[in-house]
Amino acid sequence: MSHPVNLYCTLWELPELDFPHTLLGKRDSQDPDLAEHLRGFVGFVTQGGTRPMSATLYHVIQHIQRVQNHLSVQVEAEHLDAMSDWAMRANALIFLPDASVRDPAGLVLVSGKDGASNPDAQVPYPPDAVARKQSTDAFLAEKGIRVPPSLPPVLGAGELALRDPEELVARALALMSVSVYAEGLHSGQPIPAQEIQARLSGADLSPSEASFLATEAPQTQDIVNHAWRYEALAVVLWALGHLPELPWPDQIADVPTLAKTVFELGEKGLLARAAVRSESEVLDALDLHLRLHWAAREAGRKQESPPAGLHPGVLMERHGALNWITCWHDADWDEIDTPT
């Protein structure tokens, strides 16, 4: 007996399809229809948001949103085990005709009938992502910072798409532009936006940033929000290799150093002298800041001081910048979020 199966894989490059099958269809993230299909799939597994959220359902949603390849195959029953082995290597979820979402071993993650899951089912994550989470958890435990085991790993290297150096430089200039403008407004000594833009002409401003610079008297909260962008700028400069480290997030960035770096090097120097961080370094930073951000938010929810001196504002900006650098949901700057 044969089974039609849909496979949802988060890796950019798939392992060879080495199990007996008939390929019915295949598409990747370059297909514009895949994004719409995945949004519909999220709606299906959540029943339009009516199903109670659980850790398993949340992890399934996160997986679907990271899918880079979608395959439809016909598989004979005797070859399902071989397909499961491939699904584990491809970091794939399995969708069967009974409308169930299953893990690579075939255990039910989301029942098509009632949304229930097998307690032994596990959403797959690449081995390097799991190892990174374990290392970060151990590091935080040594510092006395508690994060829940259910907080998932971040991307694995095979799922990662990094912004290119030109994008990083253009973003650094944009962040410098709005930060300087906000700082001037806050101090009562505004610098004309035209002067800033002339000095930082390579900036790739987002729509909200362009609107902010075009406003002579922005709302106070807008000024505050954009002044915080120095913290995001520090992350982008670090990713470019222009800052030696991201210090422990217990104090605000060294603004004079950031400004000196950007204005002395300029667009050409920032690019020519870049030593872009490795995938591993960026993912390590993302994994750490995701968990630190959770700890700071949890302390705020309990109206407690954040552990280890953590600064919530610094973490918010760093987390957002790291999500942008790693192409979180392919979102543009204004759409970047920091879920924990």
- pLDDT per position as a tens digit, 238-261: 999 999 999 999 999 999 999 999
Secondary structure class of 68 (helix, strand, coil):
coil
Residue type, 66: R
Structural domain includes residue 121: no
Place of tokens 């991201």: 246
CA-derived radius of gyration, the chain? 22
Give CA–CA dist 55/93, Å, rounded.
16
Structural domain includes residue 120: no
Is residue 180 located within the same domain as residue 279? yes
- pLDDT at position 76 is 94
Chain-centroid distance of CA 302 in Å reads: 26
- pLDDT at position 123 is 97
Is residue 98 located within the same domain as residue 132? no
**How confident is the prediction for the chain on average, in pLDDT?**
96
Structural domain includes residue 44: yes
Identify the domain boundary among 110, 135, 160. Answer: 110
Does the pLDDT at position 1 exceed 80?
no
Is residue 170 located within the same domain as residue 85? no
Structural domain includes residue 116: no
H helices present in 204-335, as ranges: 207-213, 220-227, 229-239, 255-272, 279-301, 312-325
- pLDDT at position 156 is 97
Does the pLDDT at position 55 exceed 80?
yes
Expressed as residue numbers, the domain containing 29 is: 2-110
Structure tokens at 310: 């953590």
- pLDDT at position 201 is 95
b/e code 163-176 from CB counts within 10 Å (16+ = b): bebeebbbbbbbbb
Is residue 176 located within the same domain as residue 307? yes
Is residue 106 located within the same domain as residue 136? no
Structural domain includes residue 119: no
Predicted confidence (pLDDT) per residue in 77-114, tens digit: 999 999 999 999 999 999 999 999 999 999 999 999 99
Structural domain includes residue 117: no
Taking Cα atoms as reference points, which of 338, 295, 334, 300 lies closest to residue 319?
338
Structure tokens at 266: 């300029």
Is residue 185 located within the same domain as residue 49? no
Is residue 92 located within the same domain as residue 67? yes
Is residue 56 located within the same domain as residue 202? no
The domain total for the chain is 2
Is residue 172 located within the same domain as residue 199? yes
Is residue 194 located within the same domain as residue 54? no
- pLDDT at position 2 is 81
Give CA–CA dist 45/43, Å, rounded.
6
Predicted confidence (pLDDT) per residue in 112-144, tens digit: 999 999 999 999 999 999 999 999 999 999 999
Identify the domain boundary among 110, 145, 174. Answer: 110
Q: Do 109 and 123 form a contact (C-beta atoms < 8 A)?
A: yes
Residue type, 47: Q
Does the predicted TM-score (pTM) go above 0.75?
yes
With cut-offs at 50, 70 and 90, classify the pLDDT of residue 22: very high
Is residue 141 located within the same domain as residue 72? no
Structural domain includes residue 82: yes
Secondary structure class of 188 (helix, strand, coil):
coil
With cut-offs at 50, 70 and 90, classify the pLDDT of residue 29: very high
Q: What is the dihedral of CA 272, 180, 206, 168, to 10 degrees?
A: 20
Predicted confidence (pLDDT) per residue in 266-296, tens digit: 999 999 999 999 999 999 999 999 999 999 9
Is residue 102 located within the same domain as residue 29? yes
Structural domain includes residue 279: yes
Does the pLDDT at position 302 exceed 90?
yes
Identify the domain boundary among 110, 144, 172. Answer: 110
Structure tokens at 54: 């659980």
Residue type, 293: H
Give CA–CA dist 58/55, Å, rounded.
5
Give CA–CA dist 244/233, Å, rounded.
14
Predicted confidence (pLDDT) per residue in 134-170, tens digit: 999 999 999 999 999 989 999 999 999 999 999 999 9
